[in-house]
Amino acid sequence: MKHSWVTGARAPDCDFSLANLPYGVFSTGGRGPRCGVAIGNCVLDLAELAAAGLLPGADLGFDQPALNRFMAAGADTWANVRSRLTDLLAEGGDPALRENAALRERALISLDKARMHLPVDVKGYTDFYAGRQHAFNSGSILRGPENALTPNWTHMPIGYNGRASTVVVSGTPVRRPLGQVMGADGPKFGPSQRLDIEVEFGAIVALPTELGQTLTVAEAWDHLFGFVLLNDWSARDIQRWEGQPLGPFQSKAFATSISPWVVTRAALEQCRRPGPKRDNDLLPYLQEEADYFLDVKLEAHLAPEGAAEASRIVQTNTAYLYYSAPQLLAHHAVCGCRMQTGDLLGSGTISGPERQNFGCLMEQSWGGRDEVALEHGGSRIFLQDGDSVTLTGWGEVDGQRIGFGRCEGRILPAPTQVGKAF
């Protein structure tokens, strides 16, 4: 098992071990956004490494403010760059970076001095409903357990097209949305009172398809670059009123937060697991011939404004999903939909069998019926202004943590009137 010589990379709670090497986009001081890799307590500037001639291949766009060009280069390029980075960062590896003090000074930057940006230019965003427990819980709250799952749910991934324009990087504040909600005497307008989180896993599409092209599940896996943490903030009262007959619209269009680091398929290879027991056989185009599910632990912590410590409110795992990321992509493309480099596919809320595994407050409060106690005092039913929510996630490979960093957002008050600048 190899370890890195970079400070902090061997710490047992470090998200960014040598086995990980996630990609992101960062800026520092007067220099604009460019691509980097997280290692230990640092971000490694890939533009500097490329300029020094230490990376293989042609221009991969590491001086650009998005990973899209590198992602579009394909799996052989990804593997070659990963192998080279591992050699440069490993104890006993190539000393070209380790023993070049001037290059180390330029290329290895403390994470606390880096400002993170969206890691990819998100071309399209589709959110799915791929967690069986979440679908059953939500359906039970709305329709009763006997009608919880719609007849189509166990046969195909259900999804809707979200807004790429409001996908934001961790740390971006989230403003409480205005909208219509159902009242006793008709619709009312105002700030959402049932603002919620959704603990999700996001898959990043790297290789595009042509209009009319379809993908098998195995081909879809090869088209994916990696994964991010994803919080699809949701206004449940707006959603309840607008959701029939076409599903979510403004209740989810106001913000979707993702983590700044994209953890690659290669880093998670040893975290792959078999899928769940099926309620019924899937149609052939959705059947899997390999293990495409992942064992990644997920948590959500909530900190009220001014709180000294955040309270953990969710513990769940990507293994609870009913449909895998390549199944989502294969289903998305089966009609001939053109997929693009940078497309983001959200899993939908990931919930497990126990209350602490439920991935949103709507489930934990059972539709607003029950208060959710916070371990450090107070309670919530839905989010209040000033609340900060942080998602974390990690797998483990040979004793090294494969972490995603943090996906965080703080709730700001709604606008005081329509059309007023803020």
Give 1's pLDDT tier (boundaries 50, 70, 90).
confident
Residue pair 386/411 in contact (Cβ under 8 Å)? The answer is yes
Same domain, 98 and 236: no
Given 87, 117, 147, the domain boundary residue is 117
pLDDT of res. 58: 82
Asked whether 194 and 236 are in contact (CB, 8 A), the reply is yes
**Longest alpha-carbon distance in the chain:** 73
CA-wise closest residue to 159 among 380, 400, 349, 399: 349
Q: Which residues, at least 6 apart from 352, have a Cβ–Cβ distance to it below 8 Å?
A: 133, 315, 316, 317, 320, 358
User: Average pLDDT in the 302-316 region?
Assistant: 97
Q: Is residue 229 part of a domain?
A: yes
Measured CA to CA, the distance from residue 109 to residue 62 in angstroms comes to 16
130 shares its domain with 73:
no
| Beta-ladder partners of 179 | 190
- CATH assignment of the domain containing 93: 2.30.30.230
Number of domains in the chain: 2
Q: Residue 369 and residue 270: Cα distance in Å, rounded?
A: 41
Give the residue from 83, 117, 151 where a domain finishes.
117
Active site residues: 134
* Structural domain containing residue 79: 23-117
pLDDT in tens, 199-241: 999 999 999 999 999 999 999 999 999 999 999 999 999 999 9
> pLDDT value at position 399?
86
Say whether the peptide bond before residue 119 is cis (omega within 30 degrees of 0): no
**Segment 99-115, tens digit of pLDDT:** 999 999 999 999 999 99
Q: What is the pTM of this model?
A: 0.97
**Same domain (yes/no): 367, 222:** yes
Task: Write out pLDDT tens, residues 33-54.
Answer: 999 999 999 999 999 999 999 9
Name the band, by pLDDT with cuts 50, 70 and 90, for residue 323: very high
pLDDT digits (tens, 9 = 90+) for 49-93: 999 999 998 899 999 999 999 999 999 999 999 999 999 999 999
Q: What is the pLDDT of residues 377-414, one digit of tens each?
A: 999 999 999 999 999 999 999 889 999 999 999 999 99
- What confidence tens digit (pLDDT) does each residue in 184-194 have? 899 999 999 99
Amino acid (one-letter) located at 364: Q
* 130 and 112 within one domain: no
Tell me how far apart the alpha carbons of residues 6 and 39 are, in angstroms, rounded to a whole number: 7
Q: What pLDDT, in 10s, does the model give residues 245-281?
A: 999 999 999 999 999 999 999 999 999 999 999 999 9
Look at residues 117, 144, 172 and tell me which one is the last residue of a structural domain.
117
Q: Based on the domain organization, do 108 and 131 belong to the same domain?
A: no
In a domain, 1, yes or no: no
Note whether residue 11 is domain-resident: no
Q: Is the pLDDT of residue 422 over 70?
A: no
Cα–Cα distance, 1 to 18 (Å, whole number): 10
At 331-352, the pLDDT tens digits run 999 999 999 999 999 999 999 9
